[in-house]
Structure 1
Amino acid sequence: MKQEQAKEILKQLIRINTVNPPGNETDVAKELKALFERHGIETELVEYDENRANLIARLKGSEAGPVLGLTGHMDVVPPGEIEWTYDPFGAEESEGKIYGRGACDMKSGLAACVLAMIALKEQGLPEKGELVLLATVGEEAGAVGARQLTQEGYADQLDALVVAEPTRNRIKIAHKGALWPQIVTYGKTAHGSMPDKGTNAVMHMNEVLHRLLGGDFTFSYEEDELLGGPTFSVNVISGGSNTNVVPDQCTANIDIRTVPSQDHKQIIGQIEQIIESAKGRYPDLRAEIKILNDQNPVKTPADDPFVRLVQEVVKEADGAEELGGMTGYTDSAQFALAKKDFPIIVLGPGDTTVAHQPDEYVEIDEYYASIRLYQEIAKKFLAD
């Protein structure tokens, strides 16, 4: 397939609005399904919800052999309130870049996986083994599509997996976990002029957060050579209905990014202890913890044979072979829960510093390079 065709396919995917919520990923899945079928590649839609379907594509050799997975998600985050220079869904091209929501995160990586498969098909490859694409829904809100596919056994056959998230085509072998607890405090309404008749949920939340942020809450962990240490931030607080009403509920959403030495259940237990300690000041404090997102950290050993294979491919392409880690999570957090262990690397076009930002873009040459990288990785892996 010529480069101009590859570019137009990416632009078409960007023009399809898959903002999550609600997602509408089926529109992309059907677009890709039709493209695969025109090239004689087997596909399957796996429905998640209304107008939300994962897509599986399979390219099989004539002989049995290893199975390599490629994966990318079809949903994108909202454009945001800040005005863009370019149309977020226009896929406009300027000075070697394509702009649009999802251009970087991660429709360019997804399109590159698709086009690598088509290129291999045109070359009569693979001769043995199988190349599988898992295009997922809902990565941006809890990796729900990857969770579904893993639970239904679609990852159990894999011997290795490439996650096409943006890394500027540099190899990442680890990413942090994400634990998002929501603390909810419950009180009792009363007239604002008679606060003693009510129970103030906001004041109770203030006490809990004061203890969490004031040093009572500490992480137990070992520094990771690629990921560093964990992070903790309170990013959403909501409580109260009016100035003259004592609030009966308050919520606080917390974003915790973890490293492999940590245990999420232990962290939740620590937060429960903090809440219990806050009752020393407010005996009538009532609270609960809801888990909005729970993704484990993922790390593949640097000396894994698949990592070394990918290093060889990337080094041959542009001389780079360094290994790194990511602060954000990917669908691999769910795929790593498959019944058998397999190495996972993250490698794809795009710079994460422009992901989720106004005027998100991908460099076109980087996109083309990723198509070639995926082809070469598949050739080497499936030749073993």
Structure 2
Amino acid sequence: MNQEQAKSFLKDIIQIKSVNPPGNETAVAEKLKSLFDEHSIETELVEYDVNRANLIARIKGEEDGPVLGLTGHMDVVPTGEIEWEHDPFGAEEEDGKIYGRGTSDMKSGLVACALAMIALKEQGLPKKGEVTLLATVGEEAGAVGSRQLTEKGYTDQLDALIVAEPTENQIKIAHKGALWPQIITYGKTAHGSMPDTGTNAVVHMNEIIHRMLGEEFELKYEEDDLLGGPTFSIDVIKGGTNTNVVPDQCLVNIDIRTVPSQDHKQIIEQMEQVIQSVKEKYPNLKADIRILNDQQPVRTSSEDSFVKLVQDVKKSLGGDITLGGITAYTDSSQFTKAEKKFPVIVMGPGGTAAAHQPDEYVEVDEFLKSIYLYKEIGKKFLT
């Protein structure tokens, strides 16, 4: 495909409203499948739910050899409440940029992976080994697609994986994990004029939050040279139904981003200890902890041979070979749960500063360069 065809196909994918929730990723998967069918590339749809299907695509060499995995997710976050200057699903091109929800995170990276596979196929490659694309559902809400594919064994044969998340095509070898606990307190309703006859779930939650923000709850960790330390943010709080009713329930959602030295189970145990300490003040406290999302941090050694190979390819193309890390999690949190261990690199067009924002965009040149970059990595890894 030439550059204009590549841009046109990316725009077609951006225009598909695969907003999660609910997802509707099957439309993206089928569009990719139709392109692969045109180029006689093997595909498989793996259904997750209604209108939600993962896509697997493979090109195989004539000889056995290593397997290179490429991955990207098909869902995008909602457009938000702030008005956009560009149509969120118009895929408008202006001043060297393509605008739209998911342009950066991460339909440009996903499409670049697909087009790199087609470029390899057109060159009669690979001669040995295999390139496998894993296009996933539901990364933006718990990485449910990658979890399904991992449990079904689709990553068992991988020898290396590139996650095409937005890094401005810089090489990232580490990313943080995500632990999203939800705490719920339960009380007893009463008339607002007689609060002593009820149990106020909001008051109980307030004490829990106060202690978690104090010295009773401390995230224990060792500083990571690429990722730094963890973060902790209380991002949702809901409680009560009316001003004149004592609330019988309150919940908070917490976003904890973790580094490799941390143990998620220990963090949860610390939270349980805080709740137990609150019971000393409020003996009638009833509370639960639910885990909404649990993604482990991932890190690949800078000395890994695949990392060195990618650095060599980038250097030959005149690109920056500095290694770094990212604060977000990726589907590799699930993919690396496979029994076989393999190196992971996060590298793709677009930037996190534009992701999840109004007027999200990707630089056209960056997108086109990523296609060539993935193709050259595939050629070197599989020859």
The TM-score, its normalising length taken from structure 2, stands at: 1.00
Please give the root-mean-square deviation of Cα atoms over the aligned residues, in Å. Answer: 0.5
**5+ residue gaps, structure 1:** none
* C-alpha separation in 1, matches of 2:309 and 2:250: 51
AA at the equivalent of 1:84? W
**Secondary structure of 1:318's partner?**
coil
Post-superposition CA distance 1:139-195 (Å, at most 9, x none):
000000000000000000000000000000000000000000000000000000000
- 1:77 corresponds to: 77
How far does residue 319 in structure 1 lie from its aligned partner after superposition? 3.3
Post-superposition CA distance 1:249-275 (Å, at most 9, x none):
000000000000000000000000000
How far does residue 329 in structure 1 lie from its aligned partner after superposition? 0.2
- 2:317 corresponds to: 317
AA at the equivalent of 2:261? S
- 1:169 corresponds to: 169
Determine if the alignment matches structure 1 residue 127 to structure 2 residue 127: yes
Determine if the alignment matches structure 1 residue 203 to structure 2 residue 203: yes
How far does residue 90 in structure 1 lie from its aligned partner after superposition? 0.1
Determine if the alignment matches structure 1 residue 291 to structure 2 residue 307: no
* C-alpha separation in 2, matches of 1:272 and 1:217: 10
AA at the equivalent of 1:205? M
- 1:58 corresponds to: 58
Determine if the alignment matches structure 1 residue 243 to structure 2 residue 243: yes
- 1:273 corresponds to: 273
- 1:90 corresponds to: 90
* C-alpha separation in 1, matches of 2:314 and 2:292: 37
AA at the equivalent of 1:352? T
* C-alpha separation in 2, matches of 1:169 and 1:314: 9
* C-alpha separation in 2, matches of 1:139 and 1:366: 23
AA at the equivalent of 1:144? V
- 1:117 corresponds to: 117
- 1:361 corresponds to: 361
- 2:228 corresponds to: 228
How far does residue 318 in structure 1 lie from its aligned partner after superposition? 2.5
AA at the equivalent of 1:336? T
- 1:105 corresponds to: 105
**Secondary structure of 2:377's partner?**
helix
* C-alpha separation in 1, matches of 2:348 and 2:67: 20
Post-superposition CA distance 1:209-239 (Å, at most 9, x none):
0000022100111000000001101000000
Post-superposition CA distance 1:296-351 (Å, at most 9, x none):
00000000000000011111222310000000000000001011000000000001
Moved over 6 A (4+): none
Determine if the alignment matches structure 1 residue 187 to structure 2 residue 187: yes
The alignment of Structure 1 onto Structure 2 pairs a total of residues equal to: 383
AA at the equivalent of 1:63? E
Determine if the alignment matches structure 1 residue 342 to structure 2 residue 330: no
* C-alpha separation in 2, matches of 1:102 and 1:316: 30
**Secondary structure of 1:7's partner?**
helix
**Secondary structure of 2:353's partner?**
helix
